[in-house]
């Protein structure tokens, strides 16, 4: 008689690092490896758009469909519902992002790039991104978190493993190591 096996515990990685240390690049490497192995990948990736070495916009990509939208533009509006200096968030696109997260699980790889003060301090923004991470309905999830918000993230997800990035130059070797450990060969 066969003994039922318990499915492995979902792996949650909290990726952190100061600005421009490769958090989104890290996610891109992991996404590529997962897709090469035919894993179901879902969630949102939020790359910055730069002009003259200055970030002028943040885009977001639905990893299931490939659809892209603008998340925020450089600027400030004191009347904005999302009180965050230097960025004007597209309210309708934030809502669209929540819809993406609402449909993101179950999945093999969940990406939430990134949870910031709007989510972790103001309880607004990508609330469904937080719920998707909370659900555990994935084999592996990556939540991108700024260093100053890590105490809140670790309080919420105490079992999560933390990866702290120091330089974008180290991302390829670090992701290669994680891919070897977390993804079977294609």
Helical segments of the chain, H only: 23-36, 91-102, 117-120, 127-135, 150-156, 171-182
Which domains does the chain show, CATH number per domain? 11-182 (3.40.50.300)
Both tokens of 21, joined, read 């240390």
Q: Would the pLDDT of 142 be above 70?
A: yes
The CA distance from 66 to 141, in Å, is: 18
Q: Would the pLDDT of 14 be above 70?
A: yes
pTM here? 0.91
pLDDT digits (tens, 9 = 90+) for 84-128: 778 888 889 999 999 999 999 999 999 999 999 889 998 999 999
Residues ≥6 apart with Cβ < 8 Å to 106? 137, 138
- As to burial, measured by CB atoms within 10 angstroms (0-12 exposed, 13-18 middle, 19+ buried), residue 25 is middle
The CA distance from 120 to 140, in Å, is: 21
Mean pLDDT within 23-32: 94
Residue of 159, 176, 174 lying closest to 23 (CA atoms): 174
């Amino acid at each position: 008689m066969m003994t039922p096996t318990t499915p492995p515990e979902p792996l949650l990685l909290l990726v952190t690092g100061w600005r421009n240390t490769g958090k989104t690049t890290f996610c891109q490497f992991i996404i590529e490896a997962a897709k090469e192995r035919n894993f179901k990948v879902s969630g949102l990736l939020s790359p910055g758009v730069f002009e003259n070495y200055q970030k002028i916009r943040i885009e977001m990509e639905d990893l299931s469909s490939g659809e892209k939208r603008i998340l925020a533009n450089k600027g400030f509006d004191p009347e904005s519902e999302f009180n965050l200096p230097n960025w004007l968030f597209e309210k309708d696109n934030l809502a669209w992002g929540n819809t993406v997260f609402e449909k993101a699980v179950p999945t093999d790889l969940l990406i939430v790039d990134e949870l910031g003060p709007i989510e972790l301090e103001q309880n607004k923004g990508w609330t469904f991104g937080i719920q998707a991470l909370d659900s555990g309905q994935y084999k592996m999830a990556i939540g991108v978190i700024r260093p100053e918000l890590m105490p809140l993230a670790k309080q919420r997800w105490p079992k999560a493993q933390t990866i702290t990035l120091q330089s974008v130059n180290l991302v390829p070797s670090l992701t290669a190591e994680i891919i070897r450990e977390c993804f079977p060969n294609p």
